Copies of this chain bind each other. A is one copy, B any other.
């Protein structure tokens, strides 16, 4: 009966899985297969913004999934508002293919159009980040987290979550310098967050951790 968090994960995973694969379908429909006039190698090369957008989006959505995974493993119970915050996170996650498609379509147009689409993309990620922060804040306040979770760790996670939108905003500021540079900066940010030391994966307080790891599965 206490599988609540588990069902939230299943549902969210479904949304994440569709978002990741929808980008690949878009790739397919924007890709060279739909460009009959050109030679295949040219058509493939011509479609590079699609590939870039696919990789970046996979990186962003994958990173959000990692964060979601890391957070929800500490959630023991849910209440209505936590579910609503999670739905709002997913509302923004589900629009990533839309904004990413806009971005990749406008990557070779005027600077004004590049900035507008980059701003929309960043807005999506910021919205997601905002409600993600609210989820963690609410889960802590309402004692929905595992009772043996180390409070220092819960605080550290909260700080890391607050840092993320800031870094995204800085990367966004570079849109006014050069949109491609801004995108590459994103890729770098995502890369950095992915390769972080396995050691800093959130842990439980010593006792709880022993007990849990001892159970095997």
Is the CB of A150 closer than 8 A to any CB of chain B? Answer: no
> Interface SS of chain A: helix, strand, loop or mixed?
helix
Q: Per-position contact with B for A54-75: 1 when CB-CB < 8 Å, else 0?
A: 1100100010011001001110
Q: Per-position contact with B for A8-43: 1 when CB-CB < 8 Å, else 0?
A: 111101111111111111111001110000001100
A17 CB to nearest B CB, Å:
3
Q: A40-B117, A41-B116, A102-B32 known; A21 and B24 CB under 8 Å?
A: no
Is the CB of A152 closer than 8 A to any CB of chain B? Answer: no
The number of times this chain is found in the oligomer is: 4
Query: What residues on B are CB-neighbors of A105 within 8 Å?
Result: 33
Query: What residues on B are CB-neighbors of A83 within 8 Å?
Result: 66, 69
Distance A33 CA – B77 CA, assembled complex (angstroms): 41
| Contact indicator A97/B40 (Cβ below 8 Å) | no
Q: Per-position contact with B for A179-217: 1 when CB-CB < 8 Å, else 0?
A: 000000000000000111110110010000000110111
| Contact indicator B20/A21 (Cβ below 8 Å) | no
A211 CB to nearest B CB, Å:
9
| Contact indicator B33/A102 (Cβ below 8 Å) | yes
Segment at the interface with B among A84-92, A128-136, A158-166, A168-176: A84-92
Please provide the 6 A-B residue pairs with the shortest distance between their CB atoms, ordered closest to farther.
A14-B17, A79-B198, A18-B21, A11-B13, A24-B94, A62-B87
Q: Tell me the A residues contacting B by CB distance below 8 Å.
A: 1-11, 13-28, 31-33, 40-41, 44, 54-55, 58, 62, 65-66, 69, 72-74, 76-77, 79-81, 83-84, 87, 90-91, 94-95, 97-98, 101-102, 105-106, 109, 113, 116-117, 142, 146-147, 194-198, 200-201, 204, 212-213, 215-217
Known: A1-B74, A84-B195. 10 other contacts (CB 8 A): A1-B73, A1-B146, A15-B21, A18-B22, A21-B94, A24-B97, A33-B102, A62-B90, A77-B213, A146-B216
